[in-house]
């Protein structure tokens, strides 16, 4: 499997994430942010020259931007409120994101030319993980407004909302394919022992033709698409360690049977930033590093989050 392009993602441990870029051609990883901060939720701009992300380096989770190489990091919001999961409009002139400006977590759009805000939703609990449609005329998001976490679609012209999923599990983090024909999202189920299982599903924008993509007993989430719509990219703990970047070939006729493929990359720079290198003591010093690593909790060496792919 030969892949091209670059993937921006965050990696780290709880409360301390940084943003990195993986070149899929040469497997080189470039670190874009550093420090003991929450730098998360990166997204490429439509032209691939800028990255929007969340950072709490000022004490609040605000929206920031930077160049594709990490230069010129600029704070966009300064409201001293919580923000999450920003996404670009197709023309690059707007952002959509969730924020708690009035105490509730709602969906907002920002005009980047005027820095003006438009409130999209107003719900007493939480509307979250919004994303523009490929044409920019719709916004998809997750909400509990029906009594259960489900996927909803908002039409910007008519201002009407349509509920797309009605499953008993928790559905969230929807992502449009580049042609707008499919929506991938995450579903969480909890078994009788209280164990959480997260898998990825795909459906049409009408909420039909639902297909399960991943079958890993554990965590598969933070799903997105390759720019040409041929692959799904997401994180998975299927290898027994923390969540790592994976891809899945998207085949319309057989995609429910496709096999997940972990991406090949060195995590040395990721672990160096968090200081999470294995330390063997006493008899463990005689064991190979691969064995020593198994004595640590699976998320000790960090976990990957929010991959976004560009060509």
Please report which helix (H) or strand (E) contains residue 289, including its range.
helix 289-293
Kindly indicate the confidence band of residue 233, based on its pLDDT and cuts at 50, 70 and 90: very high
Per-residue pLDDT, 112: 97
Q: Answer whether 205's CB lies under 8 Å from 247's CB.
A: no
Q: What is the mean pLDDT of the chain?
A: 90
Percent of the chain exceeding pLDDT 90 equals: 75
Per-residue pLDDT, 297: 57
204 conformational bin, left if phi > 0, alpha if psi -120 to 50, beta if neither: beta
For β-strands 29-31 and 39-44, DSSP reports them as: unpaired
Q: Following DSSP, what letter does each residue of 88-112 receive, concatenated? A: E-TTSSEEEEEE-TTSSBEEEEEET
Cα 112 to Cα 64: distance, rounded to the nearest angstrom: 12
For range 8-20, the mean pLDDT: 94
Q: Of residues 212 and 289, which shows the higher confidence score?
A: 212
Q: Answer whether 248's CB lies under 8 Å from 202's CB.
A: no
What digits encode the pLDDT tens for the residues 30-51? Answer: 999 999 899 999 999 999 999 9
For range 108-127, the mean pLDDT: 95
Residue 1 lies in a domain: no
Per-residue pLDDT, 192: 82
Residue 37 lies in a domain: yes
The distance from CA 123 to its chain's CA centroid, rounded to whole angstroms, is 23
**Range(s) of the domain holding residue 173:** 6-310
Task: Find the CATH number of the domain harbouring 256.
Answer: 2.120.10.30
Per-residue pLDDT, 255: 52
Per-residue pLDDT, 260: 78
Residue 127, SS3 per DSSP: strand
Residue 300 pLDDT more than 90? no
Q: Of residues 303 and 283, which shows the higher confidence score?
A: 303
Kindly indicate the confidence band of residue 291, based on its pLDDT and cuts at 50, 70 and 90: low
For range 253-261, the mean pLDDT: 63
Per-residue pLDDT, 152: 98
Give the number of domains in the chain: 1
For range 176-184, the mean pLDDT: 97
Per-residue pLDDT, 3: 95
What digits encode the pLDDT tens for the residues 198-207? Answer: 999 999 999 9
Q: Is the model's pTM score more than 0.75?
A: yes
């Amino acid at each position: 499997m030969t892949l091209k392009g670059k993937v921006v993602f965050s990696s780290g441990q709880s409360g301390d994430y940084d943003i990195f870029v993986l070149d899929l051609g040469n497997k080189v990883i470039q670190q874009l942010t550093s420090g003991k901060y929450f730098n998360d939720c990166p997204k490429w701009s439509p032209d691939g020259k800028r990255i929007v992300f969340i950072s709490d380096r000022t004490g609040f989770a605000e929206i920031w931007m930077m160049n594709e190489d990490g230069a010129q990091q600029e704070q966009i919001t300064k409201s001293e409120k919580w923000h999450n999961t920003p996404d670009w409009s197709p023309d690059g002139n707007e952002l959509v994101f969730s924020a708690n400006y009035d105490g509730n977590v709602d969906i907002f759009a920002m005009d980047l030319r005027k820095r003006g805000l438009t409130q999209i939703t107003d719900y007493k609990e939480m509307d979250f993980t919004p994303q523009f449609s490929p044409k920019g005329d719709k916004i998809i998001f997750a909400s509990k407004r029906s009594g259960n976490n489900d996927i909803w679609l908002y039409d910007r012209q008519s201002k009407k909302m349509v509920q797309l999923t009605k499953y008993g599990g928790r559905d969230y983090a929807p992502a449009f394919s580049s042609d707008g024909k499919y929506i991938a999202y995450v579903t969480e189920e909890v078994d009788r022992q209280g164990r959480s299982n997260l898998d990825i599903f795909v459906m049409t924008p009408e909420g039909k033709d639902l297909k399960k993509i991943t079958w890993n007993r554990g965590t598969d989430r933070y799903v997105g698409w390759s720019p040409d719509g041929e692959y799904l990219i997401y994180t998975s703990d299927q290898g027994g360690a923390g969540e790592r970047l994976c891809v899945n070939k998207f085949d319309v006729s057989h995609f429910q049977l496709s096999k997940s493929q972990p991406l090949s990359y060195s995590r040395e720079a990721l672990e160096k930033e968090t200081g999470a290198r294995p330390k063997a003591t006493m008899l463990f010093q005689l064991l190979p590093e691969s064995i020593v690593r198994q004595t640590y909790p699976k998320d000790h060496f960090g976990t990957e989050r929010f991959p976004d792919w560009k060509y």
